């Protein structure tokens, strides 16, 4: 088990699976930016690790989520997104 406490940290780039059983995030009062990677797992429909990582924080001014889908070929171009709204239900 790893316990991470960084009260003056302002940014986290989390690019691996988050597992709350092996990693505990402690006080991070000055966190301003969280960047994480959401990828599709072959045996899971959703990436629950990214969702559990977001639940560790009450307020994040800047949130960056990169979505990786292995089914999207490099032959296809994704559309330009002008506005994106996220709803957490």
Separation of alpha carbons 49 and 55, rounded Å: 10
Q: What local confidence, expressed as pLDDT, does residue 64 receive? A: 84
3-state secondary structure of 54: helix
pTM, rounded to two decimals: 0.65
12, 34 in Cβ contact below 8 A?
A: yes
Bridge partners for 5 per DSSP: none
The residue extents of the domains of the chain are 2-68
User: For 12-54, how does the pLDDT look when each residue is reduced to its tens digit (9 = 90+)?
Assistant: 988 877 888 888 888 888 889 888 877 665 655 556 777 788 8
């Amino acid at each position: 088990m790893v316990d991470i406490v960084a009260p003056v940290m302002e940014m986290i780039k989390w690019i691996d699976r988050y597992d709350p059983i092996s990693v505990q995030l402690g006080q991070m009062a000055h966190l301003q930016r969280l960047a994480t990677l959401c990828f599709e797992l072959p045996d899971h429909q959703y990436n629950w690790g990214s969702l559990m990582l977001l639940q560790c924080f009450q307020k994040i001014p800047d949130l960056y989520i990169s979505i990786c889908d292995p089914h999207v070929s490099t032959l296809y171009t994704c559309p330009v997104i002008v506005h994106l709204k996220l709803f957490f239900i």
